[in-house]
Amino acid sequence: MVMSMVPYCVFIGASGDNRLPFEDDLALQLHYLKHRNEFSFPSEIEYQAAADEFMASPLEPPARECVRPDGDRVRFNRRDRFFAVQAPSGWLKTFHRPSCKRINQAFFNWECGRTETP
């Protein structure tokens, strides 16, 4: 398992904000619709903002981060159960809360070793 703060793309918006966006608006809409019941975000904007903050903020325990063999950056916080994956291109692939409250280090280790995503 590789644990590190790795370089990643940060997109600077017109207003100077740091964003790690989904590949396009459709990907954001689909992920928000799929995962909105896991969070209390009232809209895609708040969902995107939380994903940005989670992935762009400094890594602090109990959060963990790794890089998959395919280059995806995976971040997981056991306390909040936040889980996100960022592609090597810089696009967010997912941001969600795994449903089981018993998600643990074994889940993170398994996710770090994945080379294919569903």
Neighbours of 4 (CB within 10 A): 10
Q: Where are the domains of the chain?
A: 16-113
In this prediction, residue 8 carries a pLDDT of 35
**3-state SS, residue 73:** strand
Q: In the CATH scheme, what architecture does the domain 16-113 have?
A: Roll (3.10)
**Residue listed under structure tokens 């975000």:** 41
Contacts of 53 (CB under 8 A, 6+ apart): none
In this prediction, residue 92 carries a pLDDT of 92
In this prediction, residue 102 carries a pLDDT of 61
Q: What percent of the chain has pLDDT over 70?
A: 76
In this prediction, residue 51 carries a pLDDT of 93
In this prediction, residue 72 carries a pLDDT of 92
What tens digit of pLDDT does each residue of 69-109 get?
A: 999 999 999 888 899 999 998 899 999 988 776 666 777 78
**Higher confidence at residue 14 or residue 109?**
109
**Residue listed under structure tokens 């997109």:** 11
In this prediction, residue 11 carries a pLDDT of 36
Q: What is the mean pLDDT of residues 50-58?
A: 92
pTM of the model: 0.76
In this prediction, residue 32 carries a pLDDT of 93
**3-state SS, residue 32:** helix
Q: Say how far apart CA 54 and CA 50 lie, in whole Å.
A: 6
